[in-house]
Amino acid sequence: MHNTMGIILTGGKNNRLKELSLERSISAVPFGGKYRAIDFALSNMVNSGIRNIGIPTQYNFRSLMDHLGSGKEWDLDRKNDGLFIFPPYLSEYSSGWYRGTADAMYSNITFLKRSNEEFVVINQGYAVYNMIYNDMLEQHVDKDADITIACRYMHDFSQEELTHLGIIERDSEQRIIDFQEKPLNPKGNFASMGIYILKRKLLISLLEESAAHGYFEFVKDILIKKLNELRLYAYEFKGYWRPLTTIQLYYRANMELLNPEVRYELFVKNGKIFTKVKDEPPAKYNEEAVVKNSIIADGCIIEGHVENSIIFRGVKIKKGAAVKNSIIMQGSIVGENASLDNCILDKNVIISLGKQLNGDPNWPLIVGKGVTV
Amino acid sequence: MAKEIIALILAGGEGSRLGVLSKLLAKPAVLYGGKYRIIDFTLSNCINSGIDTVGVLTQYRPLQLNHHIGIGKPWDLDRMNGGVTILSPFTKQHKGEWYSGSADAVYQNIHYVEEQGAENVIILSGDHVYKMNYSLMLDFHKKNNADATISVINVKPEEASRYGIMSTTDDGKIYEFEEKPANPKSTLASMGVYLFKWPVLKELLVSDHQNEQSEHDFGKNIIPMLVQEKRSIWAYPFSGYWRDVGTIQSYWESNMDLVTRVPQFNLFDPFWKIYTPNPVKPAHYISDTGHVTRSIIAEGCMIYGHVRNSVIFPGVVIEKSALIEDSIIMSNSVVKSCSHIRRTIVGEKTTIGSNVATGVGEFAESRYNSKVYQTEITVIGSCSYIPDNTVIGCNVAIDNHVTADDFTSSEIPSGSFIMKGDEYGA
């Protein structure tokens, strides 16, 4: 896919991820023991052969910038093309803050204009999935589509969760005949994954047109408005996909990693997932360690009990501590005899000795970054 | 631009006493400590000490080593000015020659050092495991205005005869050096870390090259020459963890040191990280049936069985009801169900079938090579396959690339071996 460039949208302010996105873009939320959400979208692009990738970002992007750096870990530190990060800026022609997804792309339209790839893949930085875009591009060309949208039967989502997605209706030729963004009463569960393929030149003209009319949203102001005018097609993706947009989805997707089939699909099947390297030593288990059904990253020192949990890099679980059904992010310390059930500890949390914290499986207890309990 | 100090790492060693572990690769490229290769320690020491120009002298089976080092990215040694350079033997106008010794290897690369404009050169060995700040040694070297500074470590008196032993004055000036003396006069052993003023070293190398009797070795020839010529040579004392993991036993012991509660050798130091290429694997998984104690486990592993007192490298799968004890399992190997691996080193990408037992029974002297295989530990090479139900004794040597056809019996008693010639079966 050397004639395809990529854009990763990183999402705006999100309240549904609570404390986890207070201080970071939702695309930078840590996931699965060592990753951040955006690693999946980015690695998928790299694994598909896309080498020219732009990332407009504005909401608390410091951790995202720090994570991506020069793109070294994704082999995107290149002389030609590579990784481009676009924070908002003020100028005579730009309004400063991005007012929507289309506005974010329009503000960086020079990037699109200076590139010379024929196609653009647009995807979202906050979803975890492992997908190669080549088949989708092939279908796009075969159908002579203007825009192809990756969609999926969301049979594994609750009715409430469906109301946050874009529900798609298509005809037998895969042409999209209806698109309802965040409907109150979803008709069916075939929904958009927020992944689009279109020609670069078409994207430029659509963005210019919507900007001229004062429109800022790619879905609402472009896709839905142009539904009858343009040839929009659905491409069905049958694999695993989770947007990390609510605490419940975030918690569920992490816990689903304990299933070997999900792990195989996410990390092996279509290509490797790259992330920033921390150069930690392998995890160390001391005499008293008891670990069952858990994911443990490098740099951890485990002396306590861990069950059904995801333990990120450099976490210390002290003697007599019991961690169950929890997600413990990088650098946190669970003190002696402390006990955690259904908890999410953000980075660098310290649970002092003997403390007990219990959440609910549907509403895990979140301890914010750097807090000492 | 002139550099105050550059490093040359001697990485051409065969490591013949590591048996099948170093049969297909140079000793510095042998895996160690759950994710590293031995040379990572020296390379990381260099960059952590602020040395950004490093020449790596290779000779014996360099493919794996070259691939590992690449352009030095993991160590931040991919530099415009300096960085890492692999220095392999090369042909010259009239003839080509191999490096005939450590000093000859450096002699043949004088042009590299000159090109870097180095004032001082530190000669390092790529097959030692330690963390050391060479910049402190450089300060010591400059303070004494030394021609050469040799890093020394205190060893046990009974082990002193295995090392190059220094005798020093109270303030650390060396007046005598003996390589592997029968009756050592002190316990200050050379660590194979030599810091020279480059003009001094160059002069010595040139005169050593002209000496036909010389073995062209730093320990045997260059250092004695320094002493003989009464140059200003100083002993720089080092007191941390330092191991020459040159034998199967010392290699195994040093890996096992890492699983103790508070290892003497701390890999968790955030200010002295050890770098290595990233295997790009997810965090490891321990299943409901898994049980891990007193062990280190790397990324990408899947543990369904029991592991204790062991070192497990990235991507290893330990199936249900398998038991791994006092063992080292290298990258991407698989141990199938119900196998019992005891006191065994298993190479990379090897598959151990189900219901296999290793380390069974009593020690017996190796019938293959009793100088190399001299302890209880059984060694299985890389890319090998051990058929189901095989019972393997202690001190057994099994080659790399062994297949089911190489097994004539399901019992391989202690002290026996399965060897294949070179990797193409010749």
What span, in angstroms and rounded, lies between the C-alpha atoms of B186 and B237? 13
Beta partners for residue A198, in sequence order? A120, A147
Q: What is the pLDDT along chain B (426 residues), one digit of tens a residue?
A: 689 999 999 998 777 889 999 998 899 999 999 999 999 999 999 999 999 999 999 988 888 899 999 999 999 999 888 899 999 888 887 777 888 899 999 999 999 999 999 999 999 999 999 999 999 999 999 999 999 999 999 999 988 988 899 999 998 999 999 988 899 999 999 999 999 999 999 999 999 999 989 999 999 999 999 999 999 999 999 999 999 898 999 999 999 999 999 899 999 999 999 999 999 999 999 999 999 999 999 999 999 999 999 999 999 999 999 999 999 999 999 999 999 999 999 999 999 999 999 999 999 999 999 999 999 999 999 999 999 999 999 999 999 999 999 999 999 999 999 998 765 544
Centre a 10 Å sphere on the Cβ of residue A78 and count the other Cβ atoms it contains.
12
* Cα dist from B406 to B66, B164, B349, B350, B384, whole Å: 31, 43, 17, 14, 10
For chain A, which residues score pLDDT lower than 70? 12-15, 91-95
Nearest one of B291, B333, B289 to B312, comparing CA atoms: B333
Which positions ≥6 away from A80 have C-beta within 8 Å? Answer: none
- Residue A362, CA distances (Å) to A160, A251, A342, A343 in order: 13, 9, 9, 11
Q: Chain A neighbours among B 46-85 (CB < 8 Å)?
A: 73-74
Nearest to B282 among A258, A267, A280 (CB): A267
- Strands B36-37 and B53-57 come out as unpaired
Quick check: B353 and B336 in contact, CB under 8 A?
yes
Amino acid in the structure at residue A17 = L
Q: Which residues of B touch A290 (CB under 8 A)?
A: 291
Q: Determine the residue type at A225.
A: K
Q: Do A284 and B296 touch (CB under 8 A)?
A: yes
Q: What pLDDT is attached to residue A51?
A: 94
Q: What is the pLDDT of residue B379?
A: 96
- Return the biggest CA–CA distance within chain A: 67
Closest in A279, A291, A299 to B286, CB measured:
A291
Token pair for B250: 């010392």
Alpha carbon distances (Å) from A55 to A27, A98, A125, B345 = 11, 13, 9, 46
Q: Do B268 and A301 touch (CB under 8 A)?
A: yes
Residue A330: HSE in the Cβ half-sphere, 13 Å Cα cutoff: 15
Out of B74, B296, B313, name the one closest to residue A283 (CB).
B296
Query: Residue A263 is nearest to which of B259, B282, B294, comparing CB atoms?
Result: B282
Q: Are B339 and B392 in contact (CB under 8 A)?
A: no
Partners of A293 on chain B (C-beta within 8 Å) are: 286-288
Decide if B210 contacts B217 (C-beta within 8 A): no
A chain contacts of residue B312, beta-carbon cutoff 8 Å: 282
Contact B296 A285 (CB under 8 A): yes
Contact between A72 and B288 using a beta-carbon 8 Å cutoff: no
Token pair 């295989």 is at which residue? B373
Of B268, B280, B285, the CB nearest to A295: B285
Q: Identify from B286, B292, B295, B329 which residue to disrupt to test chain A contact, counting A C-beta atoms within 10 A and taking the largest count.
A: B286
Beta bridge partners of B417: B397
Task: Tell me if chain A has a CB within 8 Å of the CB of B298.
Answer: yes
B302 shares contact with chain A (CB less than 8 Å): yes
Residues 6 or more apart whose CB falls under 8 angstroms from that of B229 comprise none
B297 inside 8 A of chain A by CB: yes
Coil, strand or helix at B143? helix
B158 touches chain A (CB under 8 A): no
pLDDT at B423: 54
Q: DSSP character for A90?
A: E
Are A263 and B259 inside 8 Å of each other by CB?
A: no
- Are the CB atoms for A228 and A179 separated by under 8 Å? no
Contact in structure between B297 and B310 (CB atoms under 8 Å):
no
Minimum Cα–Cα distance from A34: chain B residue: B283
Cα–Cα dist B301/B303, whole Å: 6
Instruction: Count Cβ atoms below 10 Å from residue B262 Cβ, excluding itself.
Output: 6
Amino acid A20: pLDDT: 80
> Does the distance separating the beta carbons of B280 and A260 come in below 8 Å?
no
Q: Is A61 left (phi over 0), alpha (psi -120 to 50) or beta?
A: alpha
Q: Torsions phi, psi of B113, nearest 5?
A: -65, -40
B173: tokens are 């000036």
**Length of chain A counted residue by residue:** 373
According to DSSP, the β-strands at A190-199 and A119-124 are antiparallel
**Contact call for residues B310 and B293 (beta carbons, < 8 A):** no
Q: Are B129 and B38 in contact (CB under 8 A)?
A: yes
CA distance, residue B134 to nearest chain A CA (Å): 21
Residue A82 C-alpha, separation from nearest chain B C-alpha, in angstroms: 17
Q: What is the pLDDT of residues A233-270, one digit of tens each?
A: 999 999 999 999 899 999 999 999 999 999 999 999 88
pLDDT at B425: 45
Q: How many of the other CB atoms lie within 10 Å of CB of A147? A: 22
Most distant pair of Cα atoms in chain B: their distance:
67
**Subunit contact B283:A297, Cβ cutoff 8 A:** yes
CB nearest A296 (choices: B284, B291, B311): B284
- Considering CB atoms only, which of A34, A285, A290 is closest to B283? A34
Residue found under tokens 């509660």: B261
For residue B7, the SS3 value is strand
Distance CA B216, CA B208 (A): 7
Type of residue found at A100? G
Report the SS3 class of residue B114.
Answer: helix
Report CB contact under 8 Å: B294, A285: yes
Residue A60 backbone class (left: φ over 0; alpha: ψ -120 to 50; beta: rest): left
Neighbours of A3 (CB within 10 A): 12
CB within 8 Å of B116: residues ≥ 6 apart: B3, B6, B53, B82
Closest of B231, B121, B218, B130 to residue B179, by C-alpha? B218
* Sign of the torsion angle spanned by Cα atoms A69, A72, A78, A82: negative
Helix, strand, or coil (residue B20): helix
Chain B residues closer than 8 Å to A292 by CB = 286-288, 290
* Cβ contact, residue pair A297, B299, below 8 Å: yes
Q: Do B259 and A260 touch (CB under 8 A)?
A: no
In whole angstroms, how large is the CA radius of gyration of chain A? 21
Three-state secondary structure call for residue A286: coil
